[in-house]
Amino acid sequence: MIEIKNVSKWYGDFKVLDDCSAVVSKGEVVVVCGPSGSGKSTLMKTVNGLEPVQQGEIRVADTVVTDRKTRLTALRSRVGMVFQHFELFPHLNVLDNLVLAQTKVLKRPLAEARERAMLLLRRVDMEAFSEKFPGNLSGGQQQRVAVARSLAMDPMVMLFDEPTSALDPEMVGEVLEVMMQLAREGMTMIVVTHEMGFARKVSNRVIFMDRGRIVEDCPKDDFFERRDERSERARDFLDKILQH
Ligand SMILES: Nc1ncnc2c1ncn2[C@@H]1O[C@H](COP(=O)(O)OP(=O)(O)O)[C@@H](O)[C@H]1O
Ligand SMILES: [Mg+2]
């Protein structure tokens, strides 16, 4: 579903991605972790074409994202992305947040778009809030709406970039629950997160990044249970993060 092949990227002289390669199959859930500044967000942005790369190739399904001729708007509508900061439109109520891109980008008739929106709001348990504005919702509720909004576009894959790291602790669970449900339904997902409980329970594989490189890419059981086989950097990282 997603193929990242020998991708390198520079910001000026700074090499932010260093020869990264990875494959994500349909229905797979891959967790990406690593220290702050290691290039996780940049890698996510290159997958849906938000950031260009100087070397290598990225494919999503049949689309070569890194090909200059590719129409990225079409691709982006099929690659759902949920960021750390829920970027809902503040001036639109929840329902309209979900309807807008469906009618504008997918050209869905309004009635159909609304029906789809309500169905998805039900799935993230936000049906009762359809008339509310984002500013009146908690962070966890906003993030669940953001997930539903992405799903309204019928994405082939979903990319999550630290979707729970800006949330108060008591709201993390409700967002992870929505993501787990999505994983169980077979959605192809790449999730940047330090929620190792989620990684353990839901992921198929864990990718560990450090200084722009993919240092580890292994089945989750190997990542967590066979610590002695991991690189020193990955072990250091795990020791730190699992102490919390
Ligand atoms: N637009 C940019 N211009 C220059 N440097 C950037 C830009 N975006 C990110 N960086 C740098 O690239 C590195 C990787 O950033 P990022 O992908 O956000 O890491 P992570 O998500 O793993 O914390 C960091 O050192 C960051 O400062
Ligand atoms: Mg980041």
- Report the CATH number at residue 13: 3.40.50.300
**Is residue 162 one of the residues assigned to a domain?**
no
| 13, part of any domain | yes
Ligand 1 close to Cβ of residue 52 (< 6 A) = no
Give the count of domains, the chain: 1
Give, as residue ranges, everything with CB less than 5 Å from ion ligand 2.
40-41
Q: Residue 19 sits in which domain range? A: 1-71+192-243
**Quick one: which ligand is closest to 39's CA?**
1
For the residues 180-201, what does the mean pLDDT come to? 95
Report if residue 139 sits inside a domain: no
User: Considering the domain boundaries, does residue 97 fall inside one?
Assistant: no
Residues 6+ apart with CB under 8 A from 40: 32, 33, 34, 161, 192, 209
Residue 227 lies in a domain: yes
Q: In this predicted structure, which of 136-140, 163-167, 238-242 has the lowest mean pLDDT?
A: 238-242
Ligand 1 center to 112 CA (angstroms): 40
Q: Tell me the percentage of the chain whose pLDDT exceeds 90.
A: 85
The mean pLDDT of 73-92, rounded to a whole number, is 89
Whole-number pLDDT of residue 74:
81
Q: How far is the CA of 99 from the centre of ligand 1 (A)?
A: 32
Mean pLDDT for 20-37 is 97
The Cα-based distances of 123 to 100, 132, 169, 182, 221 in angstroms read 19, 17, 22, 10, 30
Domain contains 107? no
- Residue 11, ligand 1, Cβ within 6 A: yes
Quick check: CB of 41 below 6 Å from ligand 1?
yes
| Contact of 138 with 60, CB cutoff 8 Å | no
Classify residue 216: in a domain, yes or no.
yes
pLDDT tens across 39-77, in order?
Answer: 999 999 999 899 999 999 999 998 999 988 888 888 888
Report whether pLDDT(244) > 80: no
221 within some domain: yes
As a whole number, mean pLDDT of residues 12-28 equals: 97
Among 23-27, 32-36, 60-64, the minimum mean pLDDT is found in 60-64
* Residue 163 CA, ligand 2 centroid: distance in Å: 10
